[in-house]
């Protein structure tokens, strides 16, 4: 019974805005991701079935969240797995619930459960087109060993992808190495690894491809001091640590105590060392503090509208108003300008999971104008297909991502560098697809690529 109670608590937390699915599931200590995700995916259908069967009216002590979880597993999942009075209650009403589901199918003129879902839930544009991206945590293992592990698990490895279309065609138990990012494996949409030993041991990180771009493009050299300004839930922080090879110092800030506690656990599981977490608004951090005198790199992924997030588990949300966008953009301009004021800064990556120009190109353009010639926008990752909107001269140097064009969540990334002494740092930026240098290792034009060293630690089954 504890499993279903915990899943219902996650649903209730989502409704309160207490966090995202992954963070709340992680806090629950139960392997709930698949159950919660599928309950959310079927949520509109479950609401119709519950209303038609009048279950909540008949069982006054049953919460709507718990009812959804129980009825999902009873009608659409693997069947109720645990005992207790709630299981007996659900089975008592089984005939009524199944009859209501059958009536719903007749009304909708469908024969399969999947056909009851709206297009975006069932596999239309967006949600189920986005593959499952798996970032190999090189602090604990290497790409070759993870590939070998999945092969032993019955997956077929198809090699490095040659195009986005090749990623789009993945199905079954097949997977590819991503065409852009060297430590990213790609599986068919909605492949679930939350209970896999590689995930629970921190050998792999489940992270969308677009979310991997900020740390990848910041590309701090091993030994550097780095700030992750708005760090929780910590995937980008762990990516930074892997790029740094745990050599250096990461200062990570977030204002939410619970998110920081979850992040701390996740970072330790990933084998991250050399980090300091602080419950602090980045805007209150003093750039003149001697503690940050060596900070040469900043990753800035501030609060945004989230309009680019492809909902694998759709939750209806109104588009932000013009006033809301302006308020967000004002905060984003302020925090970006604050990041550029750190005296030793050489490179800053600004990113959002927003599609709105107001939060992206307009913010970067305004701050660059404010700082005059002190910083420049880098033409990052020339091989990336989607560029910034033409909001100001040079905005095409920015990167955009979307479910339709790059098979990722919607994202925006801009790389800013200090002019003058810092200009030389641009040579260490990752190059175009198929010509990616080691993280933090610069390559002059025409130089031969360096061979990656194979990590010695093996993945254990």
Which of 212, 353, 386, 398 is labelled catalytic?
Answer: 353
246 a known binding residue? no
Look at residues 307, 211, 215, 216 and name the one whose alpha carbon lies nearest to residue 252.
Answer: 215
The torsion region of residue 346 among left (phi > 0), alpha (psi -120 to 50) and beta comes to alpha
Confirm or deny that 232 is annotated as ligand binding.
Answer: yes
Q: Is residue 353 flagged as an active site residue?
A: yes
- Write out the two tokens for 46: 């479950």
Is 233 within any annotated ligand binding site? Answer: yes
Distance of CA 325 to the CA centre of its chain: 22
254 is in an annotated binding site: yes
Nearest to 72 by CA among 100, 102, 107, 35: 35
Token pair 């307009």 is found at 362
Which 8-state DSSP code applies to residue 424?
G
Confirm whether residue 421 is marked as ligand binding: no
Can you tell me the distance from the alpha carbon of 439 to that of 408, in angstroms, rounded to the nearest whole number? 22
Classified as helix, coil or strand, 351 is: strand
Pair 379, 431: CB distance under 8 Å: no
The Cα–Cα gap between 76 and 357 comes to: 40
In DSSP notation, 133-147 reads EEEE-TTT--HHHHH
Two tokens, residue 219: 């590309």
Question: Is 178 flagged in the annotation as binding?
Answer: no
Q: Is 195 annotated as a binding residue?
A: no
Residue indicated by tokens 């209150």: 284
Residue positions forming the annotated binding site for S-adenosyl-L-methionine: 230-236, 254, 281, 301
Q: Which residues are part of the catalytic machinery?
A: 353
């Amino acid at each position: 019974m504890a499993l279903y109670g915990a899943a219902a608590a996650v649903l209730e937390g989502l409704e309160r805005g207490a966090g995202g699915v992954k963070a709340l599931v992680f806090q629950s200590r139960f392997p709930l991701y698949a159950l919660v995700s599928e309950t959310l995916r079927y949520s509109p259908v479950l609401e119709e079935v519950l209303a038609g069967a009048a279950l909540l009216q008949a069982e006054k002590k049953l919460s709507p969240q718990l009812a959804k979880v129980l009825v999902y597993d009873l009608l659409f999942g693997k069947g109720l797995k645990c005992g207790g009075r709630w299981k007996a209650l659900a089975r008592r009403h089984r005939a009524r619930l199944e009859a209501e589901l059958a009536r719903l199918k007749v009304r909708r003129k469908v024969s399969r459960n999947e056909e009851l879902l709206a297009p975006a839930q069932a596999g239309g544009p967006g949600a189920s087109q986005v593959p499952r991206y798996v970032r190999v945590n090189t602090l604990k293992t290497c790409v070759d060993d993870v590939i070998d592990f999945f092969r032993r698990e019955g997956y077929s490895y198809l090699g490095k992808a040659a195009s986005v279309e090749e990623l789009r065609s993945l199905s079954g138990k097949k997977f590819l190495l991503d065409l852009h990012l060297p430590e990213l494996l790609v599986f068919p949409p909605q492949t679930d690894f939350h209970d896999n030993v590689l995930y629970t041991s921190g050998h792999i990180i489940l992270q969308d491809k677009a979310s991997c771009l900020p740390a990848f493009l910041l590309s701090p050299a091993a030994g550097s001091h780095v700030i992750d300004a708005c760090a929780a839930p910590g995937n980008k922080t762990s990516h930074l640590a892997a790029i740094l090879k745990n050599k250096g110092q990461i200062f990570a800030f977030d204002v939410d105590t619970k998110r920081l506690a979850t992040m701390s656990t996740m970072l330790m599981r990933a084998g991250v060392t050399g980090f300091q977490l602080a419950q602090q608004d980045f805007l209150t951090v003093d750039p003149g503090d001697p503690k940050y005198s060596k900070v040469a790199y900043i990753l800035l992924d501030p609060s945004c509208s989230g309009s680019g997030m492809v909902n694998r588990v759709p939750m209806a949300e109104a588009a932000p108003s013009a006033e809301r966008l302006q308020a967000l953009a004002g905060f984003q301009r302020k925090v970006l300008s604050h990041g550029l004021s750190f005296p030793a800064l050489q490179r800053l990556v600004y990113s959002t999971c927003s599609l709105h120009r107001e939060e992206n190109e307009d913010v970067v353009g305004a701050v660059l104008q404010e700082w005059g010639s002190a910083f420049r926008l880098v033409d990052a990752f020339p091989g990336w297909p989607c560029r910034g909107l033409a909001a100001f001269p040079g905005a095409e140097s920015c990167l955009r991502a979307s479910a339709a064009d790059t098979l990722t969540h919607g994202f925006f990334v801009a790389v800013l560098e200090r002019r003058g002494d810092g200009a030389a740092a641009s040579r260490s930026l990752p190059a175009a697809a198929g010509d990616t240098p080691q993280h933090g290792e610069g390559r002059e034009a025409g130089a031969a690529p360096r061979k990656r060293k194979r990590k010695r630690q093996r993945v254990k089954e």
